[in-house]
Amino acid sequence: MTAPRDPKSGVHPLARPLSGLSSLRAGLITLIVLAVLVVAGFALETVIHDGGLSKYPEVYGPYELLPLAAAAVAILLGWGLVWLVSRSGDFYARAAGDVKEGEDD
Amino acid sequence: MTDALSILNGVSPAWFLILAGLLAWASPRSELRKALMLLGPIGALAAWFATGETGVYGVLDLGPVVLETFRLDNLSRVWALVFILISFINAVYALHERNRMTDGAALIYAGSAVGAVFAGDMLTLFFFWELTALASAPLIFSVGTPEAQRAGLRYLAIQVLSGVMLLGGAAMLASQTGSWAFDAIGTGSAAGIVLLLAFGLKAGFPLLHMWIPDAYPKATGVGSVVLSAFTTKLAIYALARGFAGEEALIVIGLVMAIFPVFYVVTSNDLRQTLAYALINQLGFMVVAVGVGGYLAINGAAANAFVGVIYMALMFMVLGAVLLRTGTVKATELGGLYKSMPITTLFAIIGALSVMGAPLFSGFVAKTLILSATHYEHHDWAYTLLVYASAGVMEISALKVVWFAFFGKDRGLRVKEAPQTMHLGMALAAFLCVFLGVNYPALYGILPYDMDYKPYKLASVYGQSQLLLGTMLVFGLALYFKLFPLKEDRTILDADWLYRRFGDASARWGAAMGQLLFDAIGKVLGAFISFVRLRLFNLFSPAGALSKEFPSGMMALWTAIMLAGVVLVAYFSPV
């Protein structure tokens, strides 16, 4: 079962004001805003870490930098995982005989 | 009102759900089933409120064994409450569905989970533990596809195995201690190890976790909501009851919290993505149980409570997407916010809760566990949990929302989800926000009293930075097309061991056995033919023994036999 595909119709009235959200420009603006907020956050913490913004003494500093890198590494390592252990989408279905050889999904 | 409720004092809420489920199974009318699905949880909730005093109720004296079917204490009441709440929310969500099998199964499943939580002894726990397995399997089987049938069988096999291990471990423990009581167990004995494995199988310990991403995506839309709520959280309860403070659990929990990140990133099935995110959250809870102490156990309980609700909300959202589009594959979805904006809103609320955004329920629960690991001086665990939080929780939530509702517009123009689904989602979303803002309501029902303020400037600030940073990385990966999700691929996990390797090994073993059997048959056949032929040659009318012997030869044989008799007689003792 697949839904009808007609990009020009069927937009919900509540979604019409937000129709620009899917544009590339909107995405770029969002990214810039996020980047500014992240940089500002780190800068603020670095400047006034003695004023109560620092977290735990043992993990002083903008410790969120490391998870930020971890998220990036996780996403990029995903490529390695795909290369290493990915199979076709119907891998198990074929093995079980639900899909015959040479037959498309 | 209190007087009216007092007649329910001491009655286990589990029976209301199980009875309603049995009646629902028996009822051919869907209206009646839906009424039962709503009334069952309401009755259970009334019983939960009615039994105010902690204690042991519903005692069955069977002679050598005394069963405690309703042990109400500060630990069990938290889990029971959220199980009852989610069964009601699911009943509302599933009002549109006409499926006799799943209607009854969902209620009995919820009731058995509540019953297991209230079990005061191992035998009662085993009974309800197995009932959760039997009652939940129809939620997968009822999809009806061969793939779902096989997944259901795999799921059932693993769940029943967990129950068998539980019974075996309990029997070993009883033989050592003379008691069937379900209290602190520890890993100091073989029985403890077996029980830990039994609980770990349901909790999704590493390498025992594969049934979660295997089964959950194959259930019905409503089924996956229910599945996400009960089994694994029940296992966390069992761990908290039996193994609090076992430091090995910290390591196990950390592995659970971290390894799903790669699967979250690469899985194309969004319900499978959520299943891996669920393992990550279970990892947080397992770490908390391992840390022990009042703050950590409160953290595990709080995470279980809010986790049941926000994961159910996310599965509800994907259930609505599945109902309307027929798929939950990331590569086939995108741009759904244009036709399902209300569902999108609920997805965003659920995602913010999963991510632990301030003012949402995930924040006030997750911060308890982080603080507990820090206060108990497990700083390395704390650091890894922060990584896991950024890597798994946030990416999974962002991924589901992005790929289903935003992302590349696939031109899917569908109807919004049914209003009853919206109502169910709204109830869950309300709780996500309510518990996040009004956190004393959550902390007030936790097992131990505590004075904890989650909204400190440092923690809010730190968590906000974490969220923004992960969002930025996620956005950059999408913008530069670095996200490793281009086409529909199956990412192999440990289930490959039994779905392909184990299956192939079994087939190979069977084929080799057949060959060996054939070879043995051939050798035996040849031997029997040979012997038969020799005997035939000996005794047949034309055989050697049927020949006429010359009298000289007969005389010789007679002399030989006589000599033999004489020799035997000579050497025999008198």
For A72-105, write each residue's pLDDT tens digit.
888 888 888 888 888 887 888 777 777 665 554 4
Q: Is the confidence at residue A62, as pLDDT, over 80?
A: no
- Of A4, A1, A86, A61, the residue nearest B461 (C-alpha): A61
Instruction: Examine the domain organization and report whether A27 and A52 are in the same domain.
Output: yes
- DSSP bridge pairs for B59: B68
Give A81's contacts in chain B (Cβ within 8 Å): 262-263, 265-266, 484, 491
Query: Is the Cβ pair A88, B490 closer than 8 Å?
Result: yes
Q: What is the mean pLDDT of residues B475-485?
A: 87
Question: What is the count of structural domains for chain A?
Answer: 2
Question: Are B468 and A72 within 8 A, CB to CB?
Answer: no
**Region label for B411, one of left (φ > 0), alpha (ψ between -120 and 50) or beta (otherwise):** left
- Same structural domain for residues A69 and A54? no
- Which residue from B minimizes the CA distance to A48? B458
- In A, minimum Cα distance to B390 occurs at A67
Q: Is the pLDDT of residue B532 over 70?
A: yes
Structural domain range at position A27: 22-62
A31 part of a folded domain: yes
Decide if pLDDT at A55 tops 60: no
Judged against a pLDDT cut of 70, whether residue A56 lies above it is answered with no
Residue of B163 and B456 predicted with greater confidence:
B163
Residues B147-178 have pLDDT tens digits of: 899 889 989 999 999 999 999 999 999 999 98
User: At residue A4, does pLDDT exceed 80?
Assistant: no
| A102 min Cα distance to partner chain B (Å) | 17
Which residues on chain B are in Cβ contact (under 8 Å) with A71? 390-391, 394-395, 469-470, 473-474
CA distance B453 to chain A (A): 14
Q: Name the residue facing B479 among A6, A27, A91 (closest C-beta).
A: A27
Contact between B90 and B424 under an 8 Å Cβ cutoff? The reply is: yes
Q: Are B297 and B447 in contact (CB under 8 A)?
A: yes
The single-letter DSSP state of residue B121 is B
Q: Which of A62, A80, A41, A64 minimizes the C-alpha distance to B387?
A: A64
Share of chain B above pLDDT 90, in %: 63
Determine the pLDDT at residue A100.
65
Q: Quickly list DSSP for B439-482.
A: HHHHHTTSSS-----S--HHHHHHHHHHHHHHHHHHHHHHHTT-
**Residue A101 to residues A95, B151, B208, Cα–Cα distance (Å):** 10, 22, 32
Cα distance between residue B37 and residue B21, in whole Å:
7
Gap between the Cα atoms of B490 and B561, Å rounded: 82
Q: Is residue A16 part of a domain?
A: no
Taking a C-beta distance cutoff of 8 angstroms, is the pair B368, B444 a contact?
A: no
Mean pLDDT of chain B: 90
8 Å CB contact of A93 and B491:
no
In a domain, A3, yes or no: no
Secondary structure of B257-297 as H, E, C letters: HHCHHHHHHHCCEHHHHHHHHHHHHHHHHHHHHHHCHHHHH
Q: Are B489 and A81 in contact (CB under 8 A)?
A: no
CA distance A48 to chain B (A): 12
What tokens does B51 get? 């039994």
From B395's Cα to the closest Cα of chain A, the distance in A is: 8
The nearest CA of chain A is from the CA of B467 a distance in Å of 9
Residues of chain B with pLDDT > 70, as a percent, come to 99
Buried b (16+ CB within 10 A) or exposed e, B333-344: bbbbbbbbbbbb
Are residues B472 and A7, on separate chains, in Cβ contact within 8 Å?
Answer: no
Contact A71 B473 (CB under 8 A): yes
